[in-house]
Amino acid sequence: MKTLLQLNSSLFSANGQSSRLADSFVSRFKAGNPETRVITRDLAADPIPHLDAERFGAFLSKPEDRTPEQQAVVGFSDALIDELREADVIVLGLPLYNFGVPSQLKAYFDHVARAGVTFRYTENGPVGLLKGKKAYVFAARGGLYAGTARDTQTGYVRDFLRFIGIDDVEFVYAEGLSMGDASKEAALGKAETAIQQLVTPLRAAA
C-alpha cells in the first residue's frame, strides 16, 4: 500500500489555488490507486512554529540532556519527519508570496531538516537520508515567473528536497492567475491537463 503525504502551504488552506491543484492530483491519484493512504497536513490551519533559538537548541542538545520542553520540541519534529519517512509520494501545494515560499512552509522545512536524521554530513558533503520518494509540486502564481530570474521558488524547493534525499521532483505551474479572468482560466486549464498527463501513466502502472 502506497502512502501519499499532501502538504498545503496556502494562507487560504483548502481554498488556495495551489491547494486545489494538489487536491485535484490527489483525487485522480487515489482514483487510480484506491488503496493509497493519504496524510494531509495543512500548514495554515495547523501552523508549524517558526524556528527560534530555543527550538534550534533543542535539536542540537543530546537526548539525555534535553529538558521536558526540549523533548516536546524534538518530538514534534520527529512526528513531522515520520510522516515524510512513511510517504512514497509527496504532494506540495505551493503559492508564491512576495517572491518567496510561504513562511509556514519555511517553518516546516526548518523542522524536518535535522542533521543525523534527514541528512548527514560526510567528507564529500551532505547526504540526504530520505531516499526513494517522488515529489510533485503544484506552484500557483499571480504573475509569470517560471524560467526567469525572479522564480526564486523552483530552485530553492528542489534544492531543499534534494538536500534531504528527495531528488525526483516534478513541478506543475499555474501562472498569471492575477492577470485577468482569461489568463487565470487558461493557466488552471493547462495545469489540470498536466495533472491528467501525470496521473495517467501512474494508473497504468497500478
> Which residues does 92 contact at the CB level (< 8 Å), separation at least 6?
6, 7, 9, 22, 105, 135, 136, 137, 138, 157
At which residue does the C-alpha cell 524536518 appear? Answer: 112
At which residue does the C-alpha cell 526564486 appear? Answer: 152
Report which of 104, 195, 188, 80 is spatially closest to residue 142, judged by C-alpha positions. Answer: 188
> Does the annotation place 10 within a ligand binding site?
yes
Report which of 195, 92, 203 is spatially closest to residue 153, judged by C-alpha positions. Answer: 92
Torsion angle of alpha carbons 32, 172, 50, 97, nearest 10°? -140
Task: Write out the binding residues.
Answer: 10
Binding-site positions for FMN read: 10
